[in-house]
């Protein structure tokens, strides 16, 4: 008797807007309590997989407008137990040069006003968050990356940092800066989904440098790095055990109540 393989979800960051070949994939529209989400279903590493482009298929959704709760709820409703995500990041620490593929283990939330929990009604749950990314998935991902630890400061966006802000983020303990990992990561943890992120360093943020940060330069470097990033996603998906279960950080009954909410 064969063992059902863990469904994997991939959230594509800037520059990654599709993943599966058209001939072997299907588009689906998923209603959620927080709005409608469009995903593509296919396979990775011989197991069912679903792909969701974080910024839409044409990079039309700014970081502060991403429907984070809708995205994570949709993936959970499809049975996803593991999320592999990609993220474009700037470096505020020179130990992370441009072109580095890093594996974050911590984040610093510097966003404002984002809907960052499913438990904002009468059902109160407190999420343990000391180690926000799944340790098991991170071990699987380590061979695909250059740096195996990194703290990512998550800023509101869509603007890039000032030089003073870059210095302050480094002084606060950050190595990298990004606009989207919060609240995506803790929301997945609230539904007992494990996450791992491949963070590609596209620039030096606004640290003292002769090279100013521009969107054009960021997207050009992401495009050049896509083959490596996709190969890493495929390797991680293939390495996830058939019986993988994420850490149970929230009472499963509470998770079930969230997933039972009416959709719209």
3-state secondary structure of 56: coil
d(CA 227, CA 224): 7
Segment 165-179, tens digit of pLDDT: 999 999 999 999 999
Segment 6-28, tens digit of pLDDT: 899 999 999 999 999 887 899 99
Give 5's pLDDT tier (boundaries 50, 70, 90).
Answer: confident
Residue with tokens 């991403």: 66
To the question of domain 8-259 being in CATH 3.40.50.2000, the answer is no
d(CA 258, CA 37): 17
More confident residue, 4 or 157: 157
- Buried/exposed 3-13: b ≥16 CB within 10 Å, e otherwise: eebbbbbbbbb
Structure-token pair, residue 162: 């000032």
Give 45's pLDDT tier (boundaries 50, 70, 90).
Answer: confident
Torsion sign (Cα): 188, 189, 195, 200: positive
In the predicted model, what is the mean pLDDT of the chain? 94
Q: Is residue 243 annotated as part of the catalytic site, yes or no?
A: no
pLDDT at 46: 80
pLDDT at 210: 63
Contacts of 108 (CB under 8 A, 6+ apart): 151, 152, 153, 154, 169, 172, 173, 174
Domain ranges of the chain: 8-259
- The 3-state secondary structure of 81-139 reads CEEEEEEEEEECCCCCCCCCEECCCEEEECCCCCCCCCCCCCCCCCCCCCCCCCHHHHH
State the catalytic residue, choosing from 109, 123, 203, 251: 203
State the catalytic residue, choosing from 116, 205, 242, 251: 205
Q: Is residue 203 annotated as part of the catalytic site, yes or no?
A: yes
Whole-prediction pTM: 0.95
In the chain, alpha helices (H): 68-77, 135-141, 163-171, 181-190, 215-239, 252-259
Structure-token pair, residue 91: 């470096």
Give Cα 54 to chain centroid, integer Å: 8
């Amino acid at each position: 008797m064969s063992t059902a393989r863990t469904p994997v979800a991939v959230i594509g960051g800037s520059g990654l807007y599709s993943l599966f070949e058209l001939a072997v994939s299907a588009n689906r529209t998923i209603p959620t309590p927080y709005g409608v989400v469009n995903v593509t279903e296919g396979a990775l590493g011989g197991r069912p997989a679903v792909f969701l482009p974080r910024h839409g298929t044409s990079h039309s959704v700014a970081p502060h407008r991403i429907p984070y709760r809708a995205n994570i709820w949709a993936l959970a409703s499809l049975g996803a137990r593991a999320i592999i995500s990609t993220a474009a990041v700037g470096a505020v620490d020179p130990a992370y040069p441009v072109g580095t593929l890093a594996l974050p283990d911590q984040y610093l939330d510097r966003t404002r006003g984002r809907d960052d929990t499913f438990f904002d009604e009468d059902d109160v749950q407190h999420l343990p968050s000391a180690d926000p990314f799944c340790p098991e998935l991170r071990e699987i991902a380590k061979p695909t990356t250059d740096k195996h630890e990194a703290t990512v400061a998550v800023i509101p966006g869509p603007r890039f940092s000032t030089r003073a802000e870059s210095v302050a983020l480094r002084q606060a303990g950050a190595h990298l800066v990004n606009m989207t990992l919060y609240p995506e990561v803790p929301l997945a943890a609230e539904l007992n989904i494990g996450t791992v992120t491949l963070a590609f360093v596209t620039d030096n943020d606004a640290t003292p440098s002769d090279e100013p940060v521009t969107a054009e330069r960021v997207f050009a470097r992401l495009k050049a790095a896509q083959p490596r990033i996709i190969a890493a996603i495929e390797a991680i998906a293939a390495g996830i055990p058939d019986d993988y279960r994420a850490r149970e950080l929230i009472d499963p009954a509470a998770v079930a109540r969230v997933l039972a909410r009416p959709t719209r």
